[in-house]
Amino acid sequence: MAGIELRNINKVYGNSFHALHDLSFDIRDGEFMVFVGPSGCGKSTALRMIAGLESITSGELRIGDSLVNDVDPKDRDIAMVFQSYALYPHKTVRENIAFPLLMAGLPKTEIASRVDEAARILELTTLLDRRPAFLSGGQRQRVAMGRAIVRKPAAFLMDEPLSNLDAKLRVQMRAEIASLQRKLNVTTIYVTHDQVEAMTMGDRVAVMKGGVLQQVDTPQNLYNRPDNVFVAAFIGSPSMNLYEAVLNERTLTLGSSSFEIPDGVFEYRPSLNGASNRQVIVGIRPEHMNDAAIRPSSAEISAPVTLVEALGSESMVHLNIDAPRVDAGDPNAVADIGDEKAAVARFSPKSTVRAGDIARIAVDAEELHFFEPDTRISIW
């Protein structure tokens, strides 16, 4: 086992495309780190560079105490699970799992016992003599995991290993991988574009966009204290609602509505104090907008309801707030909402608002997020 350290890692391809910009952070020994971001953000490139499958243009990569920039993948002591699983189709499950041990030159008895142990952990014992073609998606995924864990490597790298599974199996495997990682306590880097996977599995999550690291933190901190507009919108589903607003003293004007911001916010974000008609980007999480008819609040806004999605335990209420909406730069955020003007609120199922109503919305003003309009960085 070992920690992994990235220092100013850059990747520039032959066509001068700059895929990664000065990536720097540490992954602690035994930690489960998730790289998350939209397509093309460089998360898989970063993983492949750690694996040794992509060269490093500049910067330093250390696994344990050794600089591994120019070390061959086979000599890095890391195992990788691929999105496509990359099982060897001509080998049985047993031979697939045994292959890395065979390459390491372990004695046959040792190989047999370790393969049996991995198969037992992953419940593959009855499938050991089958070829990959005769396995289900979930079973193939398990074999790929088996091939990784059998080596007892310094670190696991996983490149979207669940994206080929159906939704139900994905949830099940998500829990299994997370618990397996805790049990084995091996440093793990997991790449995904799914923020739910990132939030539920990772000890820490590195959010990336356009080859630039946006924030590395625990899932809870990313959610509660996003560093910038992108992270705020990317983490959480449905996404945070982001609007241009004006703060004057303690009064926030959002479109045609105005309300007072409580004192607590100014203690938490002291640089908001003394604002005089200051332009800000305000972020409101869906769960911080409620039906004022059920939970009245001093901070209220009104907006027409365009759609109500009743999910049983809650209702997703789509609203047209009359303030300029802010594009977070996350393609998934717009897809989430469907209508780029709409805000989404998470109402109690007891709410009786319907599409076409003008709803009174109680805003939980203590929980508002504020960002600089120019830099899009959080205002603290």
Partner 1 sequence: MHRAPRLNVSGVLINAAALVLVLSYALPYIYLLMTSIKPAADVQQIPPSFFPAVVSFENFREVLRSSTLPRAFVNSLIVAVLTTALSLSVAVPAAYVATQYRRRITTIFLLFALVTRMVPSVALGVPLFQLLKSLGLLDTIPGLVLAHTSAAVPLALLLMSAFFEGVPKELEEAARMDGCTRFQAFRKIILPVMTGGIAVTALFTFITSWNEFLYALLLTSEATKTAPIVIAEYNSVYGLAWGAMTAAAVLYSLPVIIVTLALQKQIVGGLTFGAVKG
Query: Which C-beta is closer to partner 1: that of 146 or that of 219?
Result: 146
Query: Which C-beta is closer to partner 1: that of 84 or that of 375?
Result: 84
70 sits near partner 1 (criterion: CB under 8 A): no
Rounded CA gap, 282 and 252, in Å?
9
Query: Which C-beta is closer to partner 1: that of 115 or that of 242?
Result: 115
Closest listed residue to residue 203, CA positions, set 79, 35, 46, 39: 35
In eight-state DSSP terms, residue 270 is: G
Of the residues 8, 13, 24, 88, which one makes contact with partner 1 according to CB under 8 A: 88
Stretch that binds partner 1, among 18-26, 78-86, 332-340, 352-360 (CB under 8 A): 78-86
Tokens describing residue 44: 């898989």
136 sits near partner 1 (criterion: CB under 8 A): no
Tokens describing residue 70: 């120019």
Closest listed residue to residue 254, CA positions, set 282, 229, 277: 282
Nearest distance in Å: CB 229, partner 1: 35
13 sits near partner 1 (criterion: CB under 8 A): no
Rounded CA gap, 316 and 287, in Å?
10
Q: Which residues in 279-298 contact partner 1 (CB under 8 A)? A: none
Stretch that binds partner 1, among 82-90, 118-126, 255-263, 370-378 (CB under 8 A): 82-90
Nearest distance in Å: CB 14, partner 1: 9
Q: Which are the contacts of 60, defined by CB distance < 8 A and separation ≥ 6?
A: 5, 6, 7, 8, 9, 67, 69
16 sits near partner 1 (criterion: CB under 8 A): no
Tokens describing residue 279: 């332009």
Neighbours of 76 (CB within 10 A): 22
Of the residues 8, 84, 136, 298, which one makes contact with partner 1 according to CB under 8 A: 84
Q: Which residues in 327-356 contact partner 1 (CB under 8 A)? A: none
Spatial strand order in the sheet of 18-27: 18-27, 4-12, 58-63, 66-67
Rounded CA gap, 272 and 291, in Å?
28
67 sits near partner 1 (criterion: CB under 8 A): no
73 sits near partner 1 (criterion: CB under 8 A): yes
170 sits near partner 1 (criterion: CB under 8 A): no
# chain residues binding partner 1, by CB under 8 A: 25
Stretch that binds partner 1, among 47-55, 303-311, 334-342, 372-380 (CB under 8 A): 47-55
Query: What does the radius of gyration of the chain's CA atoms come to, in whole angstroms?
Result: 24
Nearest distance in Å: CB 98, partner 1: 10
Query: Which C-beta is closer to partner 1: that of 84 or that of 125?
Result: 84
Rounded CA gap, 167 and 211, in Å?
28
90 sits near partner 1 (criterion: CB under 8 A): yes
Q: E strands along the chain, which residues?
A: 4-12, 18-27, 32-36, 58-63, 66-67, 78-81, 155-159, 187-192, 204-209, 212-217, 241-248, 251-254, 257-260, 278-284, 289-291, 300-310, 315-320, 342-347, 358-363, 369-371
Nearest distance in Å: CB 84, partner 1: 5
133 sits near partner 1 (criterion: CB under 8 A): yes
Rounded CA gap, 374 and 228, in Å?
11
Closest listed residue to residue 273, CA positions, set 293, 289, 249: 249
107 sits near partner 1 (criterion: CB under 8 A): no
Of the residues 67, 103, 310, 358, which one makes contact with partner 1 according to CB under 8 A: 103
Nearest distance in Å: CB 18, partner 1: 20
106 sits near partner 1 (criterion: CB under 8 A): no
Q: Which residues bind partner 1 (CB under 8 A)?
A: 51-53, 72-74, 78-80, 82-84, 86-90, 99-100, 103-104, 132-133, 147, 151
